[in-house]
Amino acid sequence: MTVLFVGLLAIYMAGIIFPPCFPGRPRIQNLVAHGLAIGAGLVGTALGLAGLLAPEPWTASAESTIPFLSFAIRLDPLASFFVLTISVVGLAASIFALGYVTEFYGRSSLGAMGSLFNGFLLAMMLVVMADNGFFFLIVWELMSLLSYFLVVTEHEKAEVRYAGLFYFIMTHVGTACIILTFVIFSQEAGSFSFEDFRHPDQRLPDGLRSIAFFMALIGFGAKAGIVPLHVWLPYAHPAAPSHISALMSGVMIKTAVYALIRVYFDFLEGVFPWWWGFTVLSIGALSALLGVMYALMEHDLKSLLAFHSVENIGIILLGIGAGMIFHTYGLHELAALGLLAGLYHTINHATFKALLFLGAGAVQFATHTRDIEEYGGVLRRMPWTGLFFLIGAVSIAALPPTNGFVSEWLVFQSLFLSVQLPTLFLKLMLPIAAAILALTGALALACFAKAFGMAFLAQPRSAHARKAVEVPVSMRIGMGILAGSCVVLGLAPMLVVPLLDRVTGPLTGVAISQKVLALDGWVVAPVTVEFSSISTPVLAGLLVGAGLLGLLIARWLGKGVPARYTRTWGCGLPLTPRMEYTATGFVQPIKQVFETVYQPTVKLEREFLEQSKYFIRHQRVEFHTEPLFETYLYRPVVRKLLALAERLRVIQVGSLHLYLTYIFVTLVLLLLWAG
Amino acid sequence: MVQVVLIVVQLIMLLALAPFIVGVIRKVKARLQCRRGAGLFQPYADLAKLFRKQPVRSSTTSWIFAAAPYIVFASTVAAGLLMPVFLSHTPLNFAGNIIALVYLLALGTFFLILAGLDAGSAFGGMGSSREAIIATLAEPAMMLSILAIALTAGSTNLSTIVHQSALLEGVVLAPPAHLMALAAMFIVTLAETGRVPVDNPATHLELTMIHEAMLLEYSGRYLALMEWAAGIKLLVLLTLIVNVFAPWGIATSLAPAALATGTVVYVLKVAGLAVVIGVIESMFAKLRLFRVPELLGAAFILALLALVFFYTLRG
């Protein structure tokens, strides 16, 4: 393990240092940066697996001269699981990047980009491995800053700069809350070491613990993109180059999930009132539903995917929240199940969301646009990208037998098992959460039917889409790895569940792998076979078998007559792309049904002929939906803050002497207070 | 071995019975309109004819268009194999519970929607768009209504639910909850299978059609598979209703007498429900698309109330 860890560190350091050493030679910079990242991805995968299978957590540390800070590393199963996730996605993104970044030759500095890319990956790895509060905050901040620089890669565009600023502010509000959480814990533990957080000298009063809970939820929630702290995410994630978006949406937001589990189940030792779990569950349900609803109205492919990250974080939190509730009532097996469901969805979301972002990047690479309305007919031009995107779409829509289905199914089960809870309120609330999840799933299906159908099917709607060609082979390999992972994670829960069980076991105190898997692992059955069971391999077999049966019957009766090709009937007119349904039209019924959420407005401008108002010369229609949280929550707060800042300008007159006086007065006051 | 035979028998039964149910509904509607109507077995002849015809494909379509009928057919058949039909213990019970069944049907819906978009005509898109909203609203109601019954049986596995309730021999544990969940499920079935008052399977009017609009570009064997799959989906949901909500008479053991009774009772029950649907189709007009959410919302509330009643009545 030591060798693997040092190797990982060394490769990433090389990946940070070497790319800028070849200025003006983007090809070499690209090869060096992403080649090293691929190597690190392989080493990281090995490290993650080794950590998951190791009997004891692996630790290492180096003391520093700064008080409270020590560079402590601890690789327990929870950390290893996230290392594995980051590595697999990082590997695929690096391979994809080899071909993808050729687009940036001559436009952006490949040296800086490659350096930042490796640094960002390393920072994420260290975040999940850090075992000291100070060290954690440093690498957490590093991760945020490096991703900020990557977001603003195309800083010549104003909207990218705006997205970057928004992200920068939100992530620092989050960091402030995290610092508060750790300060509270350090009061309890007497140091900033996570080891002491785990075994505090005395337990804090409940009030302070609750503050720590909320601060952690806000701090990490801001990074994870929970509603209502999600507003930055749909701006920042799409603004970055696609392989970075894949990392941000696929794994960076997962570091927040990691931290939440670490804080709630490890530091707080799972001792908490039921309403903590209920709060997490409610936020999960809200995020899931609103995330997918806003995604439906997005016609920028990457923004759409970013909103789906909000949705999936919600689904993960539904699992974790249910686990927390069960934990409060001492139902440890169910707690482990909820947590396991959340973690399973975490790795699934990492794979299919990264896959979809890479797919979106590939389509953008080929068409130079992100607007779904300008796509169409891409499947015939980019068959591989189309197939991979379809696998991702089916997975994220949680359709059997894909990986998304398995984990969403597990979340459903943990919600349905609420029958065993003692209070009627929770017994009713968890099934309602399940109904919200069902609605979310159905909306996600509609959303990806729209995304895939509008982008890849029918006729091209613009010259860009007509000219699209398949992307280079390295980009296809990157997507292929993730598509393969989606299939394996879906069809082989018998491999995944025992590994996850090693993560949840120490946190909840029970191992449930034997109970969740029945019949040699062919059946997933939490917690008893009588309550519920699925078997994705059998379902896949059934689907293939029934499909072949249909094929046979069609062959047998139809004697294999080949189909005749002709144009689609366009009511007597030649069919043009303008006759197709648009993405806007497709979601119109949904917009109308859920108008309370969207508050849609239509602006209609018409110019008439002078002679008669019955003849329109020119007409313009604008559709608009109201982003509720931005309008009613953020804008008033920002306005108040700006007004306050305006007032404070009185004391900032620009005179250096005056500022020195301020410093002096403050110092005197502080000394008086301390004395 | 017995298990394999049972699976095959169930498969053949679903495939064979589906067109008959469609025939029954059409016959009932015809009689209520004072027509003689086509024979009960007309849908079989229609399918056979379609399979033999040469299909015509649009030149703008991709492989999705050709694959969709097979995927829709496969997902519907797979869903049908997960639930008990004439025997309360279906061999494939372990492969998927009620959620798996709902999501398998959703897989079919997903590819149906894609197929509707692929030909590039406005009609297909219109159908797909409407199908998306109806499927979205129907799914939560369906999930909750079955959950209410699942909790009574202490399982979400269909065979266990059906077996448990069948053993009670006509005793309903929480009648109000049971009835409300049944009503919700029935409304959902009408919506999911494109029946009046949500959709009209007998129309090709562009302003109203939903399911037919998505199939508009299909012909020959592709259309045959799609039509057959639609029939099987209807049969699957009807079977779900009769077996989950009124499983009485279903075979609970492999005894020949029980199996024979089970099969006869099942066919009679499903055919009876088909007559009810036929009558409803003749009595009501199709709702406007934007009135459908109210109907499905009502189904959702009914299912939710069923859940509340279940808990409050049973403590």
Residue A330 lies in a domain: yes
Residue contact A588–B51, C-beta within 8 A: no
Residue B48 lies in a domain: no
Residue contact B135–A427, C-beta within 8 A: no
* Coil, helix or strand at residue A472: coil
Query: Both A644 and A519 in a single domain?
Result: no
As for how many domains chain A has, the answer is: 3
Could you say which DSSP state residue A130 is in? B
Residue contact B109–A445, C-beta within 8 A: yes
Query: Both A619 and A658 in a single domain?
Result: no
Containing H/E element for A220?
helix A206-224
Residue of B nearest to A563 (CA): B55
How many interchain CB pairs under 8 A, A with B? Answer: 279
Interface of A with B in 314-373 (CB under 8 A): none
Percent of chain A at pLDDT exceeding 70: 100
Residue A570 lies in a domain: no
Instruction: Kindly report, residue by residue over A562-592, the tens digit of the pLDDT.
Output: 899 998 888 888 888 888 899 999 999 999 9
Residue of B nearest to A444 (CA): B136
Number of H helices, E strands in chain A: 28, 7
Mean pLDDT over residues B283-290, rounded?
Answer: 89
Say how far apart CA A635 and CA A437 lie, in whole Å: 30
Instruction: Kindly report, residue by residue over A163-206, the tens digit of the pLDDT.
Output: 899 899 999 999 999 999 999 888 878 888 888 888 877 777 88
Q: Does A415 touch chain B (CB under 8 A)?
A: no
C-alpha closest to that of B7 among B72, B83, B102: B83
Residue A359 pLDDT grade (very low, low, confident, very high; cuts 50, 70, 90): very high
Q: Show the DSSP H helices in A329-402 as ranges.
A: 332-367, 378-381, 383-396
* Whether B250 contacts B260, CB under 8 Å: no
Select from B49, B130, B133, B226 the residue whose CB has the most chain A CBs within 10 Å, as the one to mutate to test that interface: B133
In angstroms, what separates the C-alpha of A214 from chain B's closest C-alpha? 31
Query: Both A432 and A489 in a single domain?
Result: yes
Query: Both A307 and A281 in a single domain?
Result: yes
For residue B56, which residues of chain A lie inside 8 Å, CB to CB? 563-566
Query: Both A531 and A620 in a single domain?
Result: no
pLDDT at B246: 87
Residue of B nearest to A561 (CA): B54
Residue contact A453–B311, C-beta within 8 A: no
Instruction: Kindly report, residue by residue over B135-187, the tens digit of the pLDDT.
Output: 999 988 988 888 888 877 788 888 888 888 888 766 776 788 888 999 999 99
Residue contact A435–B143, C-beta within 8 A: yes
Query: Both A619 and A524 in a single domain?
Result: no
* Whether B161 contacts B90, CB under 8 Å: no
Interface of A with B in 522-551 (CB under 8 A): 523, 525, 529-535, 538-539, 542-547, 549-551
* Whether A77 contacts A506, CB under 8 Å: yes
In angstroms, what separates the C-alpha of A100 from chain B's closest C-alpha? 26
In terms of residue numbers, what domain contains A513? 273-560
Which residues are paired to A166 by β-bridges? none
Instruction: Kindly report, residue by residue over B96-109, the tens digit of the pLDDT.
Output: 888 999 999 999 99
pLDDT at A520: 77
Query: Both A549 and A641 in a single domain?
Result: no
Q: Which residue type sits at A9?
A: L
pLDDT at B314: 67
In angstroms, what separates the C-alpha of A405 from chain B's closest C-alpha? 8
Residue B53 lies in a domain: no
Interface of A with B in 454-493 (CB under 8 A): 454, 456-459
Residue A224 lies in a domain: no
What the block records as the tokens of B33 is 């309109």
As for how many domains chain B has, the answer is: 1
Residue A119 lies in a domain: no
Instruction: Kindly report, residue by residue over B85-99, the tens digit of the pLDDT.
Output: 998 888 888 888 889
Query: Both A290 and A380 in a single domain?
Result: yes
Instruction: Kindly report, residue by residue over A601-617, the tens digit of the pLDDT.
Output: 889 888 888 888 788 88
Residue contact A446–B62, C-beta within 8 A: no
* Whether A398 contacts B103, CB under 8 Å: yes
What the block records as the tokens of A618 is 């020119």
Query: Both A551 and A604 in a single domain?
Result: no
Residue A80 lies in a domain: no
Residue A639 lies in a domain: yes
Which residue is it, tokens 């560190």? Answer: A9
Whether A268 has a pLDDT exceeding 80, the answer reads yes
* Coil, helix or strand at residue A114: helix
pLDDT at A668: 94
pLDDT at A318: 96
Residue contact B74–A543, C-beta within 8 A: yes
Whether B228 has a pLDDT exceeding 80, the answer reads yes
What the block records as the tokens of A244 is 């970075």
Residue A115 lies in a domain: no
pLDDT at A144: 94
Residue A163 lies in a domain: no
In terms of residue numbers, what domain contains B121? 2-42+63-314
Instruction: Kindly report, residue by residue over A136-146, the tens digit of the pLDDT.
Output: 999 999 999 99
CA dist list (Å): A176 to A216, A219, A403 = 10, 7, 36
Residue A309 pLDDT grade (very low, low, confident, very high; cuts 50, 70, 90): very high
Whether B315 has a pLDDT exceeding 60, the answer reads no
pLDDT at A124: 95
Query: Both A525 and A645 in a single domain?
Result: no
Whether B269 has a pLDDT exceeding 70, the answer reads yes
